């Protein structure tokens, strides 16, 4: 069987957690990987892992919340590989330390920081790739990272209204783009994980009360999902296996949305 992403140029925003796991899986499926992360050391570590797999790769250290970062990233990809075929935008933050919380308590800084990093930065990189494909009259694939918290709320344990609002907005943005650009051969989908064991989720994945909650909310695993679980779902949505799929929101949630 041919590799699912043979010779595809895959741009992944995010170098750790789900982004890193997806980069490694996509590389094993024949992709050329460009990964961008804020911290140079994380990008370098992922680059070494991809080198060990024999994958062509380009590691970029950029803060995607900075104006113009998306254009620098796209220019670097095109300079190295000539094009982009797939964008998987994973990168994001929890805004809790900036003041995100319940609506009555959420600070302006918490709201603005989460929106800038989780939503506006994603919009800009989506926009840059869309302009690239439209200008070149090429098809393309976008997969954006949302969260079940954008549409399935759990009281008490996940009280960050800015984060939930940003993730809900990602769904609206992505479905709008899917409907607009389907005629151009461009697919846009969303993956919405529940609790995954990643560096960003360390507060939750080490909390005994939340781990106990996962036995009920994520009964398929009875625990947080692994980043590889999301990477496999992302591979489906970024590969020709889903050539007829656009505008969907795929929960990777171990039962979260259907269990009490």
HEC per residue, 65-103:
CCCCHHHHHHHHHHHHHCCCCEEEECCCCCCHHHCCCCC
Exposure string (b/e) for 86-97, b if CB count within 10 Å is 16 or more?
bbbbbbbbbbee
pLDDT band at residue 2 under the 50/70/90 scheme: confident
**Alpha-carbon radius of gyration of the chain:** 18
Is pLDDT at 75 greater than 90 in this prediction? Answer: yes
Q: What does the pLDDT read at residue 157?
A: 86
How confident is the model over 74-96, as a mean pLDDT? Answer: 97
> What is residue 194's three-state secondary structure?
coil
Average pLDDT over residues 158-186: 97
- For 97-121, what is the mean pLDDT? 97
CA dist., res. 48 & res. 67, Å (int): 29
Residues 6+ apart with CB under 8 A from 205: 195, 197, 211, 224
pLDDT in tens, 147-158: 999 999 888 889
Q: Tell me what pLDDT residue 153 has.
A: 84
Mean pLDDT value of segment 94-118: 97
- Among 210, 199, 219, 211, which residue's Cα sits nearest to residue 259? 219
In this structure, what token pair is assigned to residue 189? Answer: 């989908």
Kindly report the average pLDDT of the chain as a whole number. Answer: 96
Whether 245 contacts 189, CB under 8 Å: yes
The answer to whether 253 touches 193, Cβ cutoff 8 Å, is: yes
Note the pLDDT of residue 28: 97
Q: What would the mean pLDDT of 39-63 be, rounded to a whole number? A: 96
In this prediction, residues 129-150 reach a mean pLDDT of: 98
The pLDDT score that the predictor gives to residue 200 is 85
The count of C-alpha atoms lying within 13 angstroms of the C-alpha of 48, restricted to the half-sphere facing its C-beta, is: 6
Question: Quick one: which of 112, 108, 117, 107 has its CA closest to 38?
Answer: 117
Average pLDDT of the segment spanning 87-109: 96
Residue 203 has pLDDT above 60, yes or no: yes
Percent of the chain, pLDDT > 90?
Answer: 93
For the segment 113-136, the average pLDDT, to the nearest whole number, is: 98
Output 1 or 24, whichever has higher pLDDT: 24
Cα–Cα distance for residue pair 30/14, rounded to 1 Å: 19
Give yes or no for residue 1 having a pLDDT over 50: no
Q: What is the pLDDT of residues 13-35, one digit of tens each?
A: 999 999 999 999 999 999 999 99
Tell me the fold of 9-196+227-252.
Rossmann fold (3.40.50)
Mean pLDDT value across residues 66-70: 96
Going from the C-alpha of 201 to that of each of 167, 205, 232, the distances in angstroms are 15, 6, 19
């Amino acid at each position: 069987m041919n590799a699912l992403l043979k010779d595809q140029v895959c741009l992944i925003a995010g170098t750790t957690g789900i982004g890193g796991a997806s980069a490694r899986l996509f590389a094993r499926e024949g992709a050329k990987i460009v990964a961008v992360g804020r911290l140079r050391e994380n990008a370098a570590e992922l680059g070494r892992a991809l080198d060990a797999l024999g994958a062509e790769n380009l590691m970029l250290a950029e803060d995607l919340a900075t104006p113009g970062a998306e254009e620098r990233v796209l220019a670097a990809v095109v300079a190295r590989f000539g094009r982009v075929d797939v964008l998987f935008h994973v990168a994001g933050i929890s805004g809790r330390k900036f003041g995100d919380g319940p609506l009555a308590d959420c600070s302006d800084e918490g709201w603005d920081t989460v929106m800038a990093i989780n939503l506006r930065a994603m919009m800009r990189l989506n926009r840059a790739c869309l302009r690239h494909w439209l200008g070149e009259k090429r098809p393309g694939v976008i997969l954006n990272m949302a969260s079940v918290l954008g549409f399935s709320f759990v009281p008490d344990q996940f009280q960050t209204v800015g984060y939930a609002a940003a993730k809900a907005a990602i769904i609206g943005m992505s479905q709008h783009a899917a409907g607009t650009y389907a005629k151009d051969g461009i697919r846009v989908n969303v993956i919405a994980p529940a609790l995954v064991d990643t560096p960003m989720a360390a507060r939750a994945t080490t909390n005994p009360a939340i781990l106990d909650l996962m036995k009920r909310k994520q009964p398929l695993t009875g625990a947080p999902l692994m980043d590889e679980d999301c990477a496999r779902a992302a591979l489906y949505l970024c590969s020709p296996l889903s050539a007829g799929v656009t505008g969907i929101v795929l929960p990777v949630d171990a039962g979260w949305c259907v269990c009490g």
